[in-house]
Amino acid sequence: MLPHFIVCSSLISSNLCKFFNTQSSAVTSKESESTQCDTGEPSLLEQVKDIAAKVNSIEKTLGVVKQSKESQAQTNKFTRPTKSTTLAGIDVVLGGQWGDEGKGKLVDILSQEYDVCARVAGGSNAGHTIVVDGVKYKFHLLPSGVLNKSATCVIGNGVVIHIPSFLNELDNLKSMGVDHKGRVLISDRAHMVFDFHQSVDGMSETKLGRNKIGTTKKGIGPAYASKISRNGIRVGDLLNWEYFEERFRTLATDTINAHPGLEIDVEEQLAYYKSISDRVNGMTVDTIQYTNDAYHNGQKILVEGANATMLDIDFGTYPYVTSSNPSVGSVLTGLGVSPNKVSGIYGTVKAYCTRVGEGPFPTELIPDGADSIGYHLGTVGAEYGTTTGRQRRCGWLDIPQMQYSCLINGFTAINLTKVDVLTGLKEIKLGVAYKYNGKYLKSMPACLKSLSEAEVEYETLPGWTEDISQCKNFEDLPENAQKYVLRVQELLGVPVRWVGVGPNRLDQIDRGEGWDLK
Ligand code: IMP
């Protein structure tokens, strides 16, 4: 808006000045009369003069009056390039539940239209599987948008990165024919996860025994702990070997001291990091500048959320959470962009619910026997972790949990995935309210004890038996499947734009934008 205003105010000002200079002597007699009239009101001429003076003063404040060359250059620094009038904005795909909602597929489909795909939080604890033409691609640290050959992938400052796993992922992709040369950029401010962070993760879990978190043991918590304790090491530190080495030795000593029994082969680690430093340095950039420049140049940016809202360190089922903020806030803090640049916030929600690891799960269905619904969801949905291979716990879709997630993230649209997994169930339930001590709860309880003791009230909908994997339009779905989707939409108050009907890239209905909530 600012450039338009500047142009407009300049025009107004110069026109008023012209009017004042050339027309002041030609005021009509009627106007002269009124000037002579002592009404106490300023004359038209005086009013025009006053407006011109005010506009001049505004122009001066905004820096649009004629200036010397140097001061003009200074002003340009704070003015958006004209191309920014066609800003495309930043869109975000986030996990609405406890992870593994199938975000990767939407990102993969959307990313075909984006110039930049970014990760902003978490690390190699995340896992996305994308199936393209029957070929399975597994992603942990890389945005799955890397499959779009013209997209640049950014690993933002909010991510914690285990370099050996990252390089491995890049090499695997290359061997599968995905050329990523020059298309992967790592933030110089992203923190590093070392092997010893992973050892500490395992040791802490062992120490917790029965109360373990059930982490992925990828060193995520200990790496964020180093970051917050201010003795962490950032990817950009590798650009200066002496500095990196000094910080590494200090961090290794501090970690050994804090964890009796932990062994770190410092020399071997340093030799490894020296050997890969050129390769990593070649990908290291100031991604804050890069992303903001891309935005101002009208490029489309897609943020691929990792983990999920209920695993958020602040909003999730603490302490059974990850150590970052996988909700909408991390887009800003993990990429270095302003909230006014974010447009679409797409919440990915599985048509039922799963979680891996420990912690309360109000709508959980224990798989007791091959006829049980818990067993159906787990086997038909192939609910095994991409990162750990662990079996996921399954349950009905939890609406109060999702309403909480919508509140935090402000989703602009929902991507309802794996609706096909519900095919064949006679009845489908939706958890619609929580009750605690006989009273309805208004929101998600913070205290895990209350959450684990909360009773869930269900609504039952009729199921369907027809195969839906070939449905291309919403209207192609069986009536009961449509009813299920529309009921979820109604309860969440957010449009369900995408409906997942199968594991392949194209097995997804896009209801498009611009339609009404029915
Ligand atoms: P961490 O992130 O490895 O520390 O694990 C903390 C908790 O988050 C554990 O319960 C993990 O199973 C869970 N978790 C972390 N990342 C994901 C994910 O991408 N999907 C599902 N669960 C996850």
pLDDT in tens, 10-65: 433 444 333 344 333 333 333 333 333 344 556 666 776 677 667 666 655 554 44
Whether 141 has a pLDDT exceeding 90, the answer reads yes
Measuring CA to CA, which residue among 104, 508, 506 is closest to residue 305? 104
Whether 79 has a pLDDT exceeding 60, the answer reads no
Cβ atoms of 345 and 303 closer than 8 Å: no
Please list, in sequence order, all residues whose beta carbon lies within 8 angstroms of the beta carbon of residue 366, skipping any fewer than 6 positions away: 372, 374
Q: With a 6 A CB cut-off, is 143 part of the ligand 1 pocket?
A: no
Centre of ligand 1 from the C-alpha of residue 355, in Å = 9
pLDDT of residue 55: 64
Q: With a 6 A CB cut-off, is 468 part of the ligand 1 pocket?
A: no
Question: Model confidence at 135, in pLDDT bands (50, 70, 90)?
Answer: confident
DSSP secondary structure of 470-499: T--SGGGS-HHHHHHHHHHHHHHTS-EEEE
Tell me the H-state helices in 193-325. Answer: 195-208, 220-229, 241-258, 266-281, 287-296
Q: How many alpha carbons lie under 13 Å from residue 51 in its C-beta half-sphere?
A: 16
Question: Model confidence at 505, in pLDDT bands (50, 70, 90)?
Answer: confident
Return the ligand 1 atom nearest residue 307 CA.
19
Mean pLDDT to the nearest integer, 173-186:
95
- pLDDT-above-90 percentage for the chain: 71
In this structure, which residue's CA is closest to atom 9 in ligand 1? 215
Q: 266-281 vs 163-175: helix axis angle to the nearest 10?
A: 50
Q: With a 6 A CB cut-off, is 348 part of the ligand 1 pocket?
A: no
Mean pLDDT to the nearest integer, 157-166:
98
Mean pLDDT to the nearest integer, 72-88:
42
> What's the pTM?
0.82
Cβ atoms of 139 and 130 closer than 8 Å: yes
Pocket test for ligand 1, best of 93, 140, 322 (most atoms within 8 A of CB): 322
pLDDT of residue 194: 98
Whether 291 has a pLDDT exceeding 90, the answer reads yes
pLDDT in tens, 233-275: 999 999 999 999 999 999 999 999 999 999 999 999 999 999 9
pLDDT in tens, 294-348: 999 999 999 999 999 999 999 999 999 999 999 999 999 999 999 999 999 999 9
Question: Model confidence at 467, in pLDDT bands (50, 70, 90)?
Answer: very high
Task: State which H helix or E strand residue 217 sits in.
Answer: none
User: Which of 108, 115, 128, 162 is the catalytic position?
Assistant: 128
Beta bridge partners of 186: 155, 284
What does the alpha-carbon distance between residue 377 and residue 422 come to, in Å, rounded to a whole number? 7
Measuring CA to CA, which residue among 216, 189, 183 is closest to residue 201? 216
What does the alpha-carbon distance between residue 410 and residue 347 come to, in Å, rounded to a whole number? 9
User: Which of 91, 100, 312, 398 is the catalytic position?
Assistant: 100
Q: How many alpha carbons lie under 13 Å from residue 60 in its C-beta half-sphere?
A: 6
pLDDT in tens, 472-503: 999 999 999 999 999 999 999 999 999 999 98
Centre of ligand 1 from the C-alpha of residue 133, in Å = 29
Average pLDDT over the chain, rounded to an integer: 86
pLDDT of residue 516: 58
Q: 266-281 vs 241-258: helix axis angle to the nearest 10?
A: 140
Pocket test for ligand 1, best of 311, 315, 323, 354 (most atoms within 8 A of CB): 311
Q: With a 6 A CB cut-off, is 13 part of the ligand 1 pocket?
A: no
Active site residue 278: no
Q: With a 6 A CB cut-off, is 356 part of the ligand 1 pocket?
A: yes
pLDDT of residue 254: 96
Q: With a 6 A CB cut-off, is 104 part of the ligand 1 pocket?
A: no
Q: With a 6 A CB cut-off, is 304 part of the ligand 1 pocket?
A: no
Is 178 strand, coil or helix? Answer: coil
Q: With a 6 A CB cut-off, is 312 part of the ligand 1 pocket?
A: no
Q: Distance of CA 261 to CAs 196, 201, 214, 348, 507, Å?
A: 12, 14, 22, 42, 50
Q: With a 6 A CB cut-off, is 125 part of the ligand 1 pocket?
A: yes
Please list, in sequence order, all residues whose beta carbon lies within 8 angstroms of the beta carbon of residue 144, skipping any fewer than 6 positions away: 104, 107, 108, 111, 117, 128, 130, 137, 304
pLDDT of residue 376: 96
Active site residue 179: no
Question: Model confidence at 388, in pLDDT bands (50, 70, 90)?
Answer: confident
Mean pLDDT to the nearest integer, 371-399:
91
Q: Which two tokens stand for residue 25?
A: 């002597």
What does the alpha-carbon distance between residue 234 and residue 266 come to, in Å, rounded to a whole number? 17
Read off the DSSP letter of residue 310.
Answer: G
Return the ligand 1 atom nearest residue 311 CA.
8
Pocket test for ligand 1, best of 216, 227, 348 (most atoms within 8 A of CB): 216
pLDDT of residue 358: 87
pLDDT of residue 286: 98
pLDDT of residue 70: 44
Question: Model confidence at 284, in pLDDT bands (50, 70, 90)?
Answer: very high
Read off the DSSP letter of residue 466.
Answer: S
pLDDT of residue 476: 97
Is 393 strand, coil or helix? Answer: strand
pLDDT of residue 265: 98
What does the alpha-carbon distance between residue 363 and residue 304 come to, in Å, rounded to a whole number? 27
